[in-house]
Structure 1
Amino acid sequence: MDHLDIRQHTHGDARADSAARAHPRPRRLGAALIGGAVLVTLPLVGLVSLLLQSRLDPHFENYRFHFLVFGFVGALAFVLGYAAGQAANRRHDARVFLLSLAFMATGGFLGLHALGTPDILFSGDRPGFQVAIPIGLMVSAVFAAGSAFVDIRPSIAPAVIRRRTLLRAAVLISMGAWFVLAATGMPPLRGETDEAASGGGLLAATAIAGAVLYAVGAMRYRRLYRHRWSTLPAAVIACFVLLSEALIGVAVTGERKWHASWWEWHGLIITAYLVIGLAVRREWRDERFRYLYLPTTRERRQVISVLFGDLVDFTGFAERARPNEVAAALNAYWSTAAPLITRRFGGELEKFVGDGVLAVFNSRGDQPDHAERAARAALELQRELAALGERHPDWPPLRVGVNSGEAVMREIGGPGHVAYPVVGDTVNTGARLEQLAPARGVLIGESTYRGLPPGAVVAPRIGLRVKGKAEPLDAYLLLALPQTA
């Protein structure tokens, strides 16, 4: 293929997806109604047990059951957090990323609570493990509420994504630190305590603060998704409400350890994550968290640089060579290009299509030097593929076009296939520059040239005529860039 055309016939798919979001399928509405029924009836059980503790609050103490149940639910919540984090990384979505941290925090501290069950790892009660659940829920509540309000200012979501590694590390380190404190009985986790302090205690105040955060987050999600209702947003709201109720239970009934009221707020946590787990399970596997993405994930304008690469006369080469040799050549080219573009220069591979490649720089808005990155990647790619060509002189050479400017990144498609391509004149012009580039050469647009550091060596190509554009283009054949420090 000698031309990589990024335009797609997508209007029908986009309209169909929009209609699907506006008119949820009956099964999604049914799941939402079931979740609502759970929310209405389950707290009533807790209210009755609180009012009639002496008659409806029997004692049930089973260490193995406690360990297995909370170990399982903790693992479930942590796996959900990991899966959400993978989706957030793939689509650069801050809302789903913050939800992933909320799930991971709950899951991790639930696991710590399970490990602290008497006669599992330690004999007797360890105060730090006993209070792990409310502490974990409080940490989770901060991220949960943050996910609901991450869109209130345009600058917040990109900042979260840029710091995602640090935030995830902070959650994991807090879990490890809590385990060490709890296991060793170091201050302030030394002495006799329980999973809830008295009504005026610090732990009770923390639980109430977490309950408020979850409740506020649930109300915000309800407002955000009231016009595009589906199972997953409904499940998130249900999860937040249940966890808010659980924290209220921590503050009010936590001191009645191993009694029915104590088990009940544990049950609310279990129910919350079963609801989320079932909702995620029902979504399309490849984009399970798609209905929670921010509007800016679904569509946004961004100044980017694009790199197009294409093999010269690949059709003739494919006609002359054996199919296995053609496949070997493509594998050698793209196995060289992929790590070079993504790891060394921080670009993102949009796609390989036959003998063509499209890479994008600054798609997250965190690479102010994106034009230089794309240009250096293009030169280095030509250098490495030239060395490869010396060993295989019959393989076709590469030509590269680079262009910079504003483009639109938009969700296209629906369940079954969703893509987030970059579209616009910047991208189309980049494709045209690649067609005009000489074999083993790099042709860059004027906007890319303006983004290069002083000392760039170029050969001007002024007034180029390209297909589909009324006005001629000024371009530059890039020969060299100054060495970086």
Structure 2
Amino acid sequence: MQFRLGPTVGRCAFRERMLGESRMAAHRGSMLRTANWLTHLALPMLALWLLMKRPAVDLEWDNRIAHFVLVLSASAVSVALGVVIARAARARDDARLWLVSLVFVTTAGFFGVHALFTPGVLKDTSDADFMFPTRMGLVLAGTVALASAATFSPARSAGLWMLRRLLSGLVWASMALCAVVVNFGLLDRLPDQELVERVEHDAALIGGALFATAAAAYFPIYRRRPAVVLMSVLTAFVLLAEASVALAVGMSWHASWWLWHLLMTTAFCFIAYSARVQFHREGSARGLFDALATRETVAALRSDYSMALDAMVDVMQRRERGEQVPSGAVTIRLADRFGLSEQQVAVLKRAAEALGAEREQLRRLSKLVAVGEELSVIQDEDVLLGRVMSAIADAFPRDDIGLAVMHAGELHSNDSPAPGPTASGAVTLKLPLEVKGKIAGMITVRRPGGIFPDADVALLRSFASQTSIALENARLYRHLDDLFRSYMSPAVATALLADPDQAGLGGAIVDATVLMADLRGFTAFAEAHSPVHVVTMLNTYYGAIVPVILETGGTITQFVGDAVMAVWGAPARHIDHALRAARAGLALHAAVEQAAVEHDDWPRFRVGINTGPTLVGNVGAAQMRSYTAIGDTVNLAARLQDLAKPGQVIVGHGTVAALGEAARVSARRRVKVKGKSEPVEVYVLDAIR
């Protein structure tokens, strides 16, 4: 006989292996994408190396107008990016977004100054003055880019946000100063032009190092938040770093020199293109650059979006329950709050539907888990089925749930779905409960006006499967419990089930009343009759007297042939244990006479009862033990039984004292019994008042 456990939801080893392979495949895919990205970014540096290695291919193209248009256009794109990101920064009060916007505004400003002073277009300038704005702008923009990659605590973010106007003013002042220097040719007036060239060369390399470091610092942020805009900014910083290197080593108006213009233009256009793609995908400009924000801003956004999603889920769940809740007002409020487009609202609705379905499934699975937990709980079958049905009803509140249990070969419905006005359009699903391969019951689920999706059918079948196992376990337990109690007194069985530690060897001295009874003349009767006849007589007698003892709260400790021993006051404690034992002794004779009414030749019982301190507990060995009572009180009860005549109850002085006025006794006398040095007082118990 074996208790069953619930079915495993999945094959764990297979699932873990598949998950591991999926993770490895995703890791390999990520490594390949990273390698591909690095390869593309390395191509400009490879081209620059080739141009420096082979000056013959580093062709000259002195087109001032093309330079003016290209650089000014790139500057305009960068300004537009800076403005858009600055607007997002103001909407979120986010310091990092503002710094990123400042990077593009700075590069755009200095790049624009560089374009305006293109030699021979608007003004004739020298190479030193002409290249100065770009080098200065790269250093300042690289510094801001590196600062934007820092970790922002709430205090640092708030402080930087307070200083944003001052810092912006300093950047614009630097642009103005740069324009003044170039316009008046101040660098050309310096005596050491070689020093000026070295400083400008080193400034370009410093700017490149700053942008490269900023890109490296942004990479962990991208790993945490793999968003397109983050990858775009990271790529732009790498391109600006490469442009700085090309600026430092390229020859003016040669291919190597044009390369850094192309790299800077590509950096700005790459981000603009990514933002445009994201805009067309989402249908709204709001939130395009949220991935660049600080952790606090991202956490706040997630909280806001989670609240919005919860609001949508709540509305949908309430509407599913039949409530008249308009979703339009909620949709409009969310769209206004988050600046969502119709497309984004539609996505939010789909997400809410998916989340609502997932939550509902998780809620139902929790009810299934609760049913599974019932497998290990020992309980009555009716109580078990009541809890299971309650769990199923909670999991599927809109459905009508019914249960029928098999009794005597027929299904008897405990609570079947009641017919209602929608019964004609209802769909009913019947789920059999099987115990040991046989139908033990049926769960009926009726869904008014709807169908059962595959997921619901699978879950309901799991409920039925778990219920079948729980029902089988309950019946096995009940069978074992009945067997257990039939081999020992129910009081002892109950005590052991409540506290298994009581099964240990040993005992305790308690005040108890012991009853000893045997058949006078049993030996002669057994000699004169067949064993079958003797056993029939004993079973008939015990079938009559055992209920009498148990009904009065007694504990039968042993049957020895024709003798029976019972104790009151242990293990169940009773203050009136003597009164209970006395009533049982008198009722025992009445039950015996009733059982032997057609058998005058059957011997009759004689009963001895004694009250006093008694050692009760488990006696035996670890492999075999029994609950019994021992001691002088027990021995005297046995001696009193020997003194009794058939149909008579002899009680000791301790019992009479405990009974008091309730007992009517006669034939008081003092007798000498075996094991006692002095005579003892004995009484014949006639009745209990």
For normalisation by structure 1, the TM-score amounts to 0.52
Question: What is the identity, as a one-letter code, of the residue corresponding to 1:268?
Answer: L
Counterpart CA distance in 2 for 1:277 and 1:30 is: 25
Q: After the TM superposition, which residues 62-211 of structure 1 pair with which residues of structure 2 at under 5 Å, given as runs?
A: 62-125=63-126, 127-151=128-152, 153-186=153-186, 188=187, 190=189, 201-211=198-208
Aligned to 1:41: 43
Aligned to 1:416: 344
Question: What is the identity, as a one-letter code, of the residue corresponding to 2:72?
Answer: G
Counterpart CA distance in 2 for 1:113 and 1:101 is: 18
Aligned to 2:275: 280
Go from structure 1 to structure 2 and tell me whether the alpha carbon gap of 1:194 and 1:280 turns closer, same or farther (over 3 Å shift): farther
Counterpart CA distance in 2 for 1:274 and 1:217 is: 19
Q: Which has the higher helix share?
A: 2
**CA deviation map 1:41-90 (0-9, x unaligned):** 2221112111112x211111001100000000011111111111111011
Q: Give the Å deviation of 1:130.
A: 2.2
Determine if the alignment matches structure 1 residue 52 to structure 2 residue 54: yes
Aligned to 2:219: 222
* Helix, strand or coil at the partner of 2:247: helix
Question: What is the identity, as a one-letter code, of the residue corresponding to 2:221?
Answer: L
Question: What is the identity, as a one-letter code, of the residue corresponding to 1:210?
Answer: G
**CA deviation map 1:96-145 (0-9, x unaligned):** 10011110010011111110112222134363332211111111001100
Quick one: percent identity of the two aligned structures? 29
Aligned to 1:240: 237
Q: After the TM superposition, which residues 453-468 of structure 1 pair with which residues of structure 2 at under 5 Å, given as runs?
A: none
* Helix, strand or coil at the partner of 1:223: helix
Asked if structure 2 preserves the Cα contact closer than 8 Å seen for 1:106 and 1:137, the reply is yes
Go from structure 1 to structure 2 and tell me whether the alpha carbon gap of 1:30 and 1:231 turns closer, same or farther (over 3 Å shift): farther
Aligned to 1:271: 266
Go from structure 1 to structure 2 and tell me whether the alpha carbon gap of 1:112 and 1:415 turns closer, same or farther (over 3 Å shift): farther
Go from structure 1 to structure 2 and tell me whether the alpha carbon gap of 1:193 and 1:412 turns closer, same or farther (over 3 Å shift): farther
* Helix, strand or coil at the partner of 1:118: coil
Counterpart CA distance in 2 for 1:196 and 1:226 is: 43
Aligned to 1:405: none
Counterpart CA distance in 2 for 1:57 and 1:29 is: 35
Counterpart CA distance in 2 for 1:117 and 1:64 is: 8
Counterpart CA distance in 2 for 1:70 and 1:136 is: 14
Q: Give the Å deviation of 1:158.
A: 1.2
Larger relative contact order (CA 8 Å, sep ≥ 6) = 1
Aligned to 2:440: none
* Helix, strand or coil at the partner of 2:226: coil
Counterpart CA distance in 1 for 2:64 and 2:299 is: 50
Counterpart CA distance in 2 for 1:264 and 1:92 is: 37
Aligned to 1:261: 256
Counterpart CA distance in 2 for 1:207 and 1:282 is: 32
Aligned residues between the structures: 283
Q: Give the Å deviation of 1:193.
A: 9.8
Aligned to 1:341: none
Q: Give the Å deviation of 1:275.
A: 1.2
Asked if structure 1 preserves the Cα contact closer than 8 Å seen for 2:74 and 2:268, the reply is yes
Counterpart CA distance in 2 for 1:207 and 1:230 is: 30
**Greater C-alpha radius of gyration:** 2
Question: What is the identity, as a one-letter code, of the residue corresponding to 1:86?
Answer: R
Question: What is the identity, as a one-letter code, of the residue corresponding to 1:57?
Answer: D
Q: Give the Å deviation of 1:196.
A: 10
**CA deviation map 1:434-479 (0-9, x unaligned):** xxxxxxxxxxxxxxxxxxxxxxxxxxxxxxxxxxxxxxxxxxxxxx
Asked if structure 2 preserves the Cα contact closer than 8 Å seen for 1:35 and 1:234, the reply is no
Aligned to 2:353: none
Go from structure 1 to structure 2 and tell me whether the alpha carbon gap of 1:30 and 1:57 turns closer, same or farther (over 3 Å shift): same
Go from structure 1 to structure 2 and tell me whether the alpha carbon gap of 1:270 and 1:83 turns closer, same or farther (over 3 Å shift): same
Question: What is the identity, as a one-letter code, of the residue corresponding to 1:239?
Answer: A
Counterpart CA distance in 2 for 1:250 and 1:297 is: 37
Q: Could you list the runs of 5+ residues in structure 1 that have no partner in the other structure?
A: 1-23, 302-351, 359-409, 420-485
Asked if structure 1 preserves the Cα contact closer than 8 Å seen for 2:106 and 2:140, the reply is yes
Counterpart CA distance in 2 for 1:65 and 1:191 is: 30
* Helix, strand or coil at the partner of 2:40: helix
Counterpart CA distance in 1 for 2:68 and 2:126 is: 13
Q: Give the Å deviation of 1:251.
A: 2.2
Go from structure 1 to structure 2 and tell me whether the alpha carbon gap of 1:155 and 1:264 turns closer, same or farther (over 3 Å shift): same
Q: Give the Å deviation of 1:179.
A: 1.1
Counterpart CA distance in 1 for 2:341 and 2:132 is: 46
For normalisation by structure 2, the TM-score amounts to 0.37
Q: Could you list the runs of 5+ residues in structure 2 that have no partner in the other structure?
A: 1-25, 280-284, 302-331, 349-689
**CA deviation map 1:149-207 (0-9, x unaligned):** 142x4422111111111111221221122112211223x46369999965xx2222222
Asked if structure 2 preserves the Cα contact closer than 8 Å seen for 1:32 and 1:230, the reply is no
Asked if structure 1 preserves the Cα contact closer than 8 Å seen for 2:93 and 2:161, the reply is yes
**CA deviation map 1:278-303 (0-9, x unaligned):** 112222322221121111112359xx
Aligned to 1:292: 292
Q: After the TM superposition, which residues 294-443 of structure 1 pair with which residues of structure 2 at under 5 Å, given as runs?
A: 294-299=294-299, 416=344
Counterpart CA distance in 1 for 2:114 and 2:167 is: 22
RMSD between aligned residues: 3.7
